[in-house]
Amino acid sequence: MAEEMKIIVFTLAHEEYGIEVDKVRTIERLMPITRVPKTPDFVKGVINLRGVVIPVIDLRGRFSLPESELGDNSRIIIVAANDLEVGFIVDSANDVIDLMSDAIENPPEVVGGIKAKYLSGVAKIGDNRLLILLNLSEVLNRGEIIQLEQFGE
């Protein structure tokens, strides 16, 4: 039986992506990010959000998408993955939608230049809209999580 899921929709390089609402803590406007040395390029640094230090990742950089200027619509989506809170910089966060689980298909090998391992599926919405769902445990692989946890200490 198909279950209904709530999905936060955001954009990156003109594609729509989704993360399950229960994995999202908050969506914030851009704020000052403190650079941390000796981290991968896509780790932009850390932010202090209400007294909690949170590492911030540029999802464009993570997925090897072309960089773009951050604008008024850019957001930091704070997600909880494996007991760690991490911020994702996205082009915009637009919408919350209800999605039936049976509308989700397995991802093809590459979608929008992103390897399938980072994706949990692709959902068809209506006749001409595709929503790419992220696999958070792969977006933050184990080695990177260990590195990021060290920032928080």
Report the pLDDT value the prediction gives residue 47, as an integer from 0 to 100. 95
CA angle (96 as vertex; 94, 102 as ends), nearest 5 = 125
What's this model's pTM, rounded to 2 decimal places? 0.86
List of the chain residues with pLDDT < 70: 109-115, 141-153
Report the pLDDT value the prediction gives residue 120, as an integer from 0 to 100. 87
Report the pLDDT value the prediction gives residue 110, as an integer from 0 to 100. 62
Report the pLDDT value the prediction gives residue 34, as an integer from 0 to 100. 94
What structural domains and CATH numbers belong to the chain? Answer: 4-152 (2.40.50.180)
Report the pLDDT value the prediction gives residue 54, as an integer from 0 to 100. 93
